[in-house]
Structure 1
């Protein structure tokens, strides 16, 4: 499945989320990630998020797609992260 995930969290937890999500998904822009994952990988990601956030103060929203082929990605302005670069 392909997911797009966005979050809004207090600075300390936001930094932890950023580091955690970079291990699993592609960073796209401030607090925005996307990537192809299996259902079991997604369950692991969601558990990790629950361990980091304060559910009464922070917000995480995700969108799931059966495949990356079912959406069109457009950019207006500056691309924050070059998705074609490899480390």
Structure 2
């Protein structure tokens, strides 16, 4: 499945969350990652993020079917991946 992860965490934890997500997903821009993952990988990502964040932090994970979305970039594409699908 394809996922998009968006996070808003305290500055003290930003580097840890960013470093972890970079091992599993493609960095898109600022606090946004995306990529293809298995169910097991998604479970690991969720479990690890729960351990990295604090009660005031926020992480959103969008699960998308592999073949039913389009990406439209308006402005500068800070981290182009090529064709997403």
Could you state the TM-score of these two structures normalised by the residue count of structure 1?
Answer: 0.89
| Deviation >6 Å, runs of 4+ | none
> How many correspondences in the alignment?
82
- Across the aligned residues of Structure 1 and Structure 2, the Cα RMSD in angstroms comes to 0.9
In 2, Cα distance between equivalents of 1:70 and 1:12: 36
CA offset digits 1:26-59 (Å, max 9, x no partner): 00011001100000100001111011000x2100
1:10 equivalent in structure 2? 10
3-state SS in 2 of match to 1:70? coil
Question: Which blocks of at least 5 consecutive residues in structure 2 are unaligned?
Answer: none
3-state SS in 1 of match to 2:62? strand
CA offset digits 1:35-84 (Å, max 9, x no partner): 00000100001111011000x210001110121x2101010111111214
3-state SS in 1 of match to 2:60? strand
Q: Kindly indicate whether residue 66 of structure 2 is the aligned counterpart of residue 74 of structure 1.
A: no
In 2, Cα distance between equivalents of 1:12 and 1:43: 24
